[in-house]
Amino acid sequence: MDRTSYTNLAKSWEYVEDHAFSRQSTDLNAIRTHAEEAGIPQGSAAQAELLRMLVHMVNATSVIAVGTGSVVETLQLVNGLDNSGQLTAVDSSSQGIALIRTLFNRLSDETQTTLRAVNAPVDVFLPRLNAENYDLIVVAGDAENYGASFEQAPRLLKKHGVIVFTDILAFDSATSAGGVLNPANRDAKSIAMRGLLETVESDERFVTALTPTGTGLLVAVKR
């Protein structure tokens, strides 16, 4: 691939992101602004839009959102459920769960989707959930969320259920210096994501695909 092709790819990412951002609702823009003003950065608009589409694609009725204040992605998952099903948001940080609970309180009179916000470590809460009861798990935020979520995914997901790992390239990490793409980068999330890629892609219970959407998505479908 020549330099022009790489330049076009970078421009295409920017175009897609700007396009997705322009399609965000007024409410979604306000939620993004509020979260970022509270010191909790939000992920790519295109990434969140794709997650909403995945809810429709897998005809999901039961979703788990694991994250650290990922309110934009959580709202798009709620939008994808389209007044049905249930969404459980798990966040170990008090500030993150407060934002999600505020969002859910606002939505309680607007949607028929059952919303639950849980303030707990992922490795403590997910083992309590019923087996083969979930269609989609979306993982974001701190490095420790990822391995703990994948450990439970084979048990929690229905057949052909999906787990999606956002920011798999570790660009969103505050200490990132090029994330996974920089071999010399040894921050905690980059190390965790390199290990996770190898673990998930080698697991024969799942079919996987790595995509550069947003800051990288790893999608794994349970066989």
Give residue 178's pLDDT.
80
Give residue 126's pLDDT.
98
DSSP structure class, residue 132: T
What gap in Å lies between CA 96 and CA 72, rounded to an integer? 12
C-alpha dihedral (183, 186, 192, 197), degrees to nearest 10: 0
Instruction: Report the predicted TM-score, pTM, of the whole model to 2 decimal places.
Output: 0.95
Mean pLDDT of 127-155: 97
Mean pLDDT of 153-162: 98
**pLDDT exceeds cutoff 80 at 1:** no
Domains of the chain: 3-222 (3.40.50.150)
Q: What is the largest CA-CA distance in the chain?
A: 53
27-76 pLDDT per residue, tens = 899 999 989 998 888 989 999 999 999 999 999 999 999 987 889 999 99
176-197 pLDDT per residue, tens = 678 998 888 888 899 999 999 9
The CB-side HSE value for 37 (13 A sphere, CA atoms) comes to 6
Give residue 173's pLDDT.
65
What gap in Å lies between CA 50 and CA 54, rounded to an integer? 6
Give residue 20's pLDDT.
95
Give residue 118's pLDDT.
97
**pLDDT greater at residue 3 or residue 58:** 58
The structure tokens listed for 46 are 């295109």
Give residue 175's pLDDT.
65
Using alpha carbons, select from 152, 145, 154 the residue that is nearest to residue 192: 145
> Cβ atoms within 10 A of the Cβ of 38, count?
13
Among the residues of the chain, which ranges form H helices? 3-22, 26-37, 45-57, 71-81, 94-107, 122-125, 144-156, 188-201
Question: Chain centroid to CA 107: how far?
Answer: 20
**pLDDT exceeds cutoff 70 at 174:** no
What residue type is assigned to position 203 of the chain? Answer: D
Mean pLDDT of 141-167: 96
**pLDDT exceeds cutoff 70 at 125:** yes
**Residue 130 pLDDT level (bands cut at 50, 70, 90):** very high
Start-to-end C-alpha separation, the chain: 34
**pLDDT exceeds cutoff 90 at 172:** no
Position of tokens 């309680």?
Answer: 108
**Residue 6 pLDDT level (bands cut at 50, 70, 90):** confident
